Structure 1
Amino acid sequence: MISNLRKAVRLPHRRRVVDLSHPARSPLGSAVVNCVVYLDGVRQIGHCPAAEAIEQVRSCGNGFVWIGLHEPSQQEFAGVAELFGLHPLAVEDAVDAHQRPKLERYDDTLFTVFKTVRYVEHAELTSTSEVVDTGEIMVFTGPDFVVTVRHGRHGSLGPLREDLETVPEQLAKGPSAVLHAIADHVVDDYLAVADALQNDIDDVETDVFASRRGGADTGRIYQLKRELLELKRAVAPLDRPLQTLSALPVPGQSLPGVDPDIRAYFRDVADHLARVTEQITAFDDLLNSILQANLAQVTVAQNEDMRRISAWVAIIAVPTMVCGVYGMNFDHMPELRWTYGYPLVLGVIVTACVVIHRGFRRNGWL
């Protein structure tokens, strides 16, 4: 999305950019990643703390501040919450993390939660392999500020920020442009992870149908289903927030700070999310079918084993029966004193066993 916008816009001359969030000058502590002022979509140079940055924006009346933090503590985030008047409930969610994707409105501030995902590379899929790693991005958007809080080992917004800065016309639309870019970035990661999961599912499917007995891949299939569920928990709840952000404004119910031109971009992100949701549903159905096929192979293999065992038991039953009869200690038994009685009994046993064995082989039991 951002790359398309970049092609359509002539880029202005870029000045040297200096980070506003130098640790020695920032009251936000080590959690701060960046603190930048944008005026008319152009990143401003210089050093200043967050309070001065927001004062500069409000004095100009046409820009916003973007503050990025990574896993801040309650104490580190308290200053930001007080500076921008963030609601205590949203602040608690942002610090504690482990939230479902959602969109909440507090007066003129929107609080949006995104689940980030990353595909974990692995040489071989096992029953304990981690396939999907998740994190979170919380976004506070107001009339003149954006505060992003990131949790997890991935999902860095640095490259996204750089891409946005190449399209100042988009950034000039305000904090909602940043919110859209983050949503687009997160959903693009969903698509990439879904495509990677497709390869794992194809490999498991090939292995299951290549094996005649099955059973060995059951743990891998369950692991894939667990990881797919992790992805589903990140994707499915995001549908409603995106639908809300992309919906046409209703008098008295419009969202604050969402530029009308940005709503069309949110609809595009919602379409991509719908594609991921459909893929996840298809993957889940496919894994269920693969699991059923694998269990069916196990059942068939067990039935074949039982038939072989039963066939050999039937064959062994013949000499057992004959030897059991002639092992009885009666004085008057047929052919008991006959010279050729022993060879005859052995011949009968061997002949009967051969006939039964051939019959079982003909019927596929052996």
Structure 2
Amino acid sequence: MIKAFVVDKDRLRLVEGLAGNEDRVVWIDMVNPDKEEEAAIERWLDVGVPTREEMEEIEISSRLYVENGAHVMTAILPAQAEGDEPVMSPVTFVLSGNHLVTIRYHEPRAFQTFPQRAEKAATGCTTGETVLIGLLEAIVDRLADVLERASRDVEALSKDIFNPTEKKASKRDRDFQLVLKGLGRKESLTSNMRDSLTTLQRLSGFLANAVGHTKDGKEARARVKTLSRDVASLSDHASFLSQKITFLLDATLGMINIQQNAIIKIVSVAAVVFLPPTLVASVYGMNFDVMPELKWQYGYPIALGLMIVSAILPFWYFRRRGWL
């Protein structure tokens, strides 16, 4: 599918197809293009349109290059980023003179919000260059929103780790299991955002050399510079968030180990406390014919008292030593 946009009173307006609007179109958005649509765009721009397989190549020379005066740039962008498992796929931007062509196979949010805003208000997107910069700004804003939501979720997980509401150990164990799963999802999301920001950071550096050849070049260069700074700051924030998730993961495992050690300690202390009474009971449970204490009138209560004292003394000693 091809979406063609022209400039109408400093606003973008969607038109029906490229035919008859070749000179007026400033932005072509190709969504899941077929062979015929790719061939039509190649004839219009005199530039080869990369295939999906070519877009997915990871080397820099395949993502950022110049062909027949057109700058071809590819970045990894997320779609359906409302959850923790966004769809990550490459998007290619082809800037050729006054024309911009985007090729994509998924639906990033910015490709829905940016055209709507550019149709309703004059955003200064009157050339392919300014459309590209405005679109990249919308993409960066969307990534910032995703990272902000991830930061809030990680902060909530941090409170669950260090301030658990459950008192019972079994319920806390179940909560920690949920926390571990949540941290794993956030780490996956943050990793995807870092990959996307890395490609955008390289793209913005490449774009800085492509803009600035028009009368509004100074403003375009300033916007690209600001865009590059925003991407760099978001990349730093994503790195910080990843480090925090790693710390929380270690802290969660540490809390689980503390709980397990506490349970083992209680079991060990209980075994030591009941060992002397068991020894006393075992001695007087032997079936020898000659046992002087068997004839005692108060032998039974004395044996019970001895067992109680032998249990209390180790418990008191452990408490005094601070082991309990």
Instruction: Give the TM-score normalised by structure 1.
Output: 0.73
Q: Deviations over 1:132-165 (max 9, x none)?
A: 4545432212124222223323335354235446
In the superposition, relative to structure 1, how do residues 314 and 191 fare at CA in structure 2: closer, same or farther (>3 Å)? Answer: same
Q: Establish whether residue 360 from structure 1 lines up as the match of residue 321 from structure 2.
A: no
The residue number in structure 1 matching 2:146 is 193
- Residues 130-139 or 310-319, more deviating: 130-139
SS class of match (2:109): coil
The residue number in structure 1 matching 2:297 is 339
C-alpha contact 2:64 2:203 (8 A) present in aligned 1: yes
Question: Amino acid of the residue matched to residue 91 of structure 1?
Answer: P
CA distance in structure 2 between the partners assigned to 1:152 and 1:46 by the alignment:
21
User: How many residues are treated as equivalent by the alignment?
Assistant: 308
The residue number in structure 2 matching 1:92 is 51
Q: Establish whether residue 305 from structure 1 lines up as the match of residue 263 from structure 2.
A: yes
In the superposition, relative to structure 1, how do residues 136 and 289 fare at CA in structure 2: closer, same or farther (>3 Å)? Answer: same
Structure 2: gaps (5+ residues): none
Which structure dedicates a bigger proportion of its chain to helix?
2
Of 146, 171, 174 in structure 1, the residue corresponding to residue 100 of structure 2 is 146
In the superposition, relative to structure 1, how do residues 73 and 163 fare at CA in structure 2: closer, same or farther (>3 Å)? Answer: same
In the superposition, relative to structure 1, how do residues 103 and 181 fare at CA in structure 2: closer, same or farther (>3 Å)? Answer: farther
- The share of aligned pairs that are identical, in percent, is 20
SS class of match (2:228): helix
C-alpha contact 1:242 1:266 (8 A) present in aligned 2: yes
C-alpha contact 1:113 1:138 (8 A) present in aligned 2: yes
CA distance in structure 1 between the partners assigned to 2:241 and 2:12 by the alignment:
43
SS class of match (2:84): coil
The residue number in structure 1 matching 2:73 is 112
SS class of match (1:52): coil
Structure 1: gaps (5+ residues): 1-30, 58-62, 122-128, 248-254
CA distance in structure 1 between the partners assigned to 2:298 and 2:110 by the alignment:
93
CA distance in structure 2 between the partners assigned to 1:258 and 1:188 by the alignment:
26
Of 194, 217, 221 in structure 2, the residue corresponding to residue 232 of structure 1 is 194
CA distance in structure 2 between the partners assigned to 1:258 and 1:359 by the alignment:
84
SS class of match (2:296): coil
CA distance in structure 1 between the partners assigned to 2:92 and 2:45 by the alignment:
15
Q: Residues 1-366 of structure 1 correspond to what in structure 2 (within 5 A)?
A: 31-32=1-2, 34-38=3-7, 50-54=18-22, 57=23, 64-87=25-48, 90-93=49-52, 98=56, 102-117=63-78, 120-121=81-82, 130=84, 132-155=86-109, 157=111, 159-161=113-115, 163-164=117-118, 166-167=121-122, 170-172=124-126, 174-211=127-164, 215-216=176-177, 217-247=179-209, 255=210, 259=214, 260-261=217-218, 262-363=220-321, 365-366=323-324
C-alpha contact 1:104 1:112 (8 A) present in aligned 2: yes
CA distance in structure 2 between the partners assigned to 1:271 and 1:256 by the alignment:
16
SS class of match (2:136): helix
- Across the aligned residues of Structure 1 and Structure 2, the Cα RMSD in angstroms comes to 3.2
Instruction: Give the TM-score normalised by structure 2.
Output: 0.81
In the superposition, relative to structure 1, how do residues 103 and 97 fare at CA in structure 2: closer, same or farther (>3 Å)? Answer: closer
C-alpha contact 2:110 2:138 (8 A) present in aligned 1: no
CA distance in structure 2 between the partners assigned to 1:296 and 1:152 by the alignment:
41
Give, in angstroms, the shift of residue 356 of structure 1.
2.4
In the superposition, relative to structure 1, how do residues 235 and 44 fare at CA in structure 2: closer, same or farther (>3 Å)? Answer: closer
Question: Amino acid of the residue matched to residue 282 of structure 2?
Answer: G
SS class of match (2:103): strand
In the superposition, relative to structure 1, how do residues 223 and 97 fare at CA in structure 2: closer, same or farther (>3 Å)? Answer: same
